[in-house]
Amino acid sequence: MPAPRGIAPVLAALATLGPFSIDTYLPSFGGIGRALMATPHEVQQTLTAFLLPFALMTLWHGPVSDAFGRRRMILVSVALFALASAGCALATRIEELWLLRALQGMTAGAGMVVCRAIVRDLYDGARAQRLIAQIMMMFALAPVIAPVLGGWLQSWFGWRAVFALLVLLGVALWLACWKLLPETLPMHRRQSLRVDYLANAYRSMLGSPSFLLICVALACNFVAFFIYVLSAPVFLVRHLGVAATGFPWLFAPAMSGLMLGAWLSGVLARRLSHGRTIVAGYLVMAVAAALNVGLNLAMPAALPWSVLPLFAFTLGMSLAIPSLTLVALDMFPEQRGLAASCQAFVQAAVNALAAALIAPALCESTLSLALGMAGLSMLGAAAAASHYRRSIVDASAALLASGFFGKRNQAQRYQQAAGHKAEPGLIGCRVVDSCSAHRSAKPVVVKHPANGRLEQHAAQ
């Protein structure tokens, strides 16, 4: 199915809807507290109210899209997101804002999950990798633009204008999806939404070591950088002495690396296989992580040296992510929505672990952050390598099993053609063809080299 022109920006906007909903309203925490007479802790809970449903619903967006179609799932989710955003803009109590932010979280993650399945529905191989790379290039702009835009709106119009912007974004995105987004999942490929079917499907995916290894590799790659985002106030203000307005020192090089790496991934899609692209990405990440540790050991933390390795690391990360994503989706080609949901859930779970435990433990020094980046990237590389090692072992075992049973069946056919019953032996049957080196005390049946007839001979 050919993809319509302009679908890459639409899919990128769908993927960034969740992060954009968080980053734009962060500068408004103080304004929300004053307007709704809420404590800072109560305002902070609006973020928790968004994140918990966001993470849990990633397990459902994919299966629902597998059952009812990608387009319908996206249109309903974006419409509900716009309505929830309008409710947030009109909220008069902090409890109302909690409830409406939870509804936002339930719907905002649909685009991030389903857009991966849409890409794989439309294309395979190099074309799918290029489209994911294009989406990542646009996705990288959201963390840079959203806080700045949210800060301007808060300064000029107040916190309600931030949610009004999300309403406009939701409406515009719904119209774009209605016009440009095709249904990429035909009826004959739809899956059941029965509870027993989903339970078995989730058990199959989350019980697959190879699939989980790829998901862990993706999650560790991102979290190796994400710990810097989570530690940004401490890393920039306390360790590097940057003012509160100096956050671009972190985001500008990191997002530039993301965009350049995604562009390179698209360029290399026709020249390199997924495996080679992944190896190239990990090599760049390894060099960047080693450089980061070396700089922190050799000199005190200072700009720009403390942030330059982030450019190289995110370049390698975004070089590998499109190929890793496609590898994960291709493991379950009939359930790509479900696979995308599982992948997103693992990512959300690891992100939550990083926010709760890893970043707070590492943010006390720039060296510990650098070591954390190196360790997490090594864990991701080990997971990816283990996946490919398991794939090679499984493929070899399947090939050996195919040859084993192939010889068994072939020998049985020879014996049956001669009117004898095949007898099990060390390699599956004591009756072998002329190219076998196996010897037995029993008579053997072989093909005559000239006429091809089956003949019985005594064992030598």
| Per-residue tens of pLDDT for the chain, all 460 residues | 555 667 888 888 888 888 888 878 877 888 899 999 988 888 878 887 888 888 888 888 888 888 888 899 999 999 999 999 999 999 999 999 999 999 999 999 888 888 888 887 887 777 777 787 778 777 777 767 887 788 888 889 989 999 999 999 999 999 999 998 888 888 888 877 777 777 888 888 888 888 899 999 999 999 999 888 778 778 877 888 877 566 678 778 888 888 888 888 888 877 878 888 899 999 999 999 999 999 999 888 888 888 899 999 999 998 998 888 888 888 888 777 788 888 888 888 888 788 778 888 888 888 999 999 999 999 999 999 988 786 655 555 555 555 544 544 554 544 444 444 443 333 333 333 333 333 334 454 544 444 455 555 544 4
CATH architecture of the domain covering 1-193: Up-down Bundle (1.20)
Q: How many CB atoms lie within 10 A of CB 40?
A: 11
R_g of the chain, CA atoms, integer Å = 28
Mention every residue, 6+ apart, whose C-beta is less than 8 A from residue 404. 427, 428
One-letter amino acid at 365 equals S
User: Measured between alpha carbons, how far is residue 73 from residues 61, 62, 318 in Å?
Assistant: 8, 9, 27
DSSP H/E element including 400: helix 366-417
How far apart are the C-alpha atoms of 420 and 347, rounded to whole Å? 59
Residue 419: closest CA among 460, 365, 455: 455
Our CA dihedral for 89, 348, 358, 287, rounded to 10 degrees, sits at -110
How far apart are the C-alpha atoms of 278 and 225, rounded to whole Å? 17
φ, ψ of residue 66 to 5 degrees: the values are -65, -30
- 313 within 8 A of 225, measured Cβ to Cβ: yes
Would you state the pLDDT for residue 433? 37
Sign (positive or negative) of CA dihedral 124, 127, 133, 137: negative
Residue with tokens 């590898």: 327
φ, ψ of residue 456 to 5 degrees: the values are -100, 130
Domains of the chain, by residue range, sit at 1-193, 204-404, 418-457
How far apart are the C-alpha atoms of 121 and 333, rounded to whole Å? 9
Would you state the pLDDT for residue 453? 53
Residue 335: closest CA among 223, 226, 200, 438: 200
Would you state the pLDDT for residue 396? 54
Mention every residue, 6+ apart, whose C-beta is less than 8 A from residue 117. 62, 65, 66, 70, 184, 185, 329, 336, 337, 339, 340
Would you state the pLDDT for residue 286? 95
- 224 within 8 A of 289, measured Cβ to Cβ: yes
- 119 within 8 A of 113, measured Cβ to Cβ: no
Domain boundaries 204-404, corresponding CATH code: 1.20.1250.20
- 214 within 8 A of 221, measured Cβ to Cβ: no
Residue 137: closest CA among 253, 8, 227: 8
Count of H-run helices and E-run strands, the chain = 18, 2
Would you state the pLDDT for residue 4? 63
